[in-house]
Structures are given as C-alpha cells and as structure tokens.
Amino acid sequence: MNEKEKAAAGLLYDNNHDPQLVRERNYCKSLCFEHNQLNPLKLTEREEMIRKIVAEAKGPFVIEQPFYCDLGYHIQLGHNFYANHNLIILDAAKVKFGDNVFIGPNCGFYAAGHPLDVEQRNAGLEYAYPITVGDNVWFGGNVVVLPGVTIGSGSVIGAGSIVNRDIPSGVVAAGNPCRVIREITEDDRNKYKRA
C-alpha cells in the first residue's frame, strides 16, 4: 500500500517524504499561486483557475483571493458557494461543501492532523479524515474546522469557533471548542430590519 492509499484508508501516512504526494502538493500550490496573482476583476479567469484546482464545482461560486489548498482534487464545492478572503483547505482527505455555503474571512478546513506521539509526528506521519458540510451553512470569520467533522445543513458557526466535533442541522454553534448554543427558529427570520 503506497502513502496515498494509506491516507485514503484513514491510516497514518508519510506526507512529508513521499515523492508522489510532494509532487501533487507542489503542483496544486503552484496553481493556487497563479490564482492569487490574478487581478481581482478577472472573474472569469479566477473561476477557470479554481476549476483547475478543485475536483468539483457544481454551479456558480466565488472564492476571494488569497486561497490556499494542499491537493485540490479532494475538494467539492456545491452550487452557490462563497468564500471570503484567506480560505485555507488542507484537503489530505475529501472536503465536501453542500449548496449555498457561505464562509467568512480567514477560515480553515483542516482534514489533515498529526499524531500525539512525538516519534510518529517527528517521522513526518499524519492522518487524514474527511470534512463534510451540509447545505445552507454559514461560517463566521476565523473559524477552524478539524479532521473528521460533519456540519449539518442550515447551521451557523459563530466567528472564531474551533469545530472539533460534529454539529447537527439547524443550529447556531460557537466557541472553542464549538458547541451548540441553540436551534435556529422562526423568530430568527424576523430578527433583522428589511426595506
């Protein structure tokens, strides 16, 4: 079993020294660099570059610059995806976003993690667990989502949260560690003034 296969199986793998993974990561980082250097007004070129990077982009999307990821081919974007500046996706495993996902600035989705054991960590070993985000989820700024987390549809993750466990659908969750604060209710529909 090669290192890429170990990662896909959820086993410890060597991401630092495996030539194939290093080559794939460097190629993706080169594409991210090109994307981040494009004039922000060149929306068509920016979208084309992101489509070269990610595995799937269902419909219209916007990813503001800068954007960084490790491999790209594990990222799936749903319809009407929006990410503000400085999105980081460490996609050593699949990172899947549903439709109508909105992400604030400076957010990170980290499918990769490192062992607690110092010898394994110093040997360059890591693990990769998928991240899944449902439809209609909003992330405030500076949110970090850790390996293996699933976030249910219709939820809101408050700014500055560290999400280290699954979050159910239809809730407001926040904090470090992120926890459910309350359900989203009909009263929330009328909370803000409209013209």
pLDDT higher than threshold 90 for residue 190: no
Which tokens sit at 158?
A: 């408050």
Please give the angle made by the CA atoms of 181, 185 and 186, to the nearest 5 degrees: 160
Burial class (CB in 10 A: 0-12, 13-18, 19+), 98: buried
Percentages helix, strand, coil for the chain (3-state, rounded to 5) are: 25, 30, 45
Alpha helices by DSSP H, 38-159: 43-53, 118-122
The residue written with tokens 């209710």 in the block is: 185
Percent of the chain with pLDDT over 70: 100
Confidence category of residue 151, pLDDT binned at 50, 70, 90: very high
Domain 3-185: assigned CATH number: 2.160.10.10
Q: Do residues 151 and 167 lie in contact, with contact meaning Cβ atoms separated by under 8 Å? A: yes
What's the pLDDT tens digit per position in 25-61? Answer: 999 999 999 999 999 999 999 999 999 999 999 989 9
pLDDT higher than threshold 90 for residue 166: yes
Pairing state between β 75-77 and 87-90: unpaired
Q: Do residues 169 and 154 lie in contact, with contact meaning Cβ atoms separated by under 8 Å? A: yes
For all residues of the chain together, what is the average pLDDT? 96
pLDDT higher than threshold 90 for residue 168: yes
Residues 6+ apart with CB under 8 A from 189: none
- The pTM (predicted TM-score) of the whole model is 0.95
Residues that are catalytic: 114
pLDDT higher than threshold 80 for residue 194: no
What's the pLDDT tens digit per position in 87-142? Answer: 999 999 999 999 999 999 999 999 999 999 999 999 999 999 999 999 999 999 99
